[in-house]
Amino acid sequence: MKEYDESMLKDYRYKVNQQDVLDIQELRKLGFTQKDIAESYGVTPQTVRYWTDSKYRSYMRAKNAKRKKTQEERKKAYPQQSKKRLENFEETPMTKLRHQYSSRKADEKARGHKFITMRGHDKEVWDKIVEQGLLNRPNSKIYLEEE
């Protein structure tokens, strides 16, 4: 089984970390049931299925992408999202520029506000910077080996 350094294992979005996923996949290949694996990792069998069945994972991602949050859910999520955004800005200052760029693009599309310049540079300059990935933040998502 592959080992990963500690920085790749931390991500608040998931119930399991990168190493757990690799171990779960290995156990599943060895013939252990989803229920047995779930009990040993303290998760539900659906979580095990999500990380071991690519068709199910694709289905769930598409389903969740379509889900609309209620106003109450959005209100509840806002403080956490704001806190995380500020942490990201502190950790990776370029993230703030990416956020400002995305906000300008969204305003242009939703409200019809023209995006001409940002911080003294033309929109075309920012488009090229973003296209080259210079404002991207390192991501600690869980990556799956090709199945």
Calculate mean pLDDT across residues 9-34.
Answer: 85
Instruction: Return the DSSP state at 70.
Output: P
Domain ranges within the chain, ordered by starting residue = 6-66, 85-131
User: Amino acid identity, residue 147?
Assistant: E
Integer CA distances (angstroms), 135 to 6, 59, 91, in order: 24, 30, 13
Considering the entire predicted model, what is its pTM? Answer: 0.54
Instruction: Return the DSSP state at 91.
Output: H
Give the pLDDT band of residue 2 (cuts 50, 70, 90).
Answer: very low
Name the CATH code of domain 6-66 (choices 3.40.50, 1.10.3470, 3.10.180, 1.10.10): 1.10.10
CA 131 to chain centroid, in Å, comes to 19
* DSSP run (H or E) holding 134: none
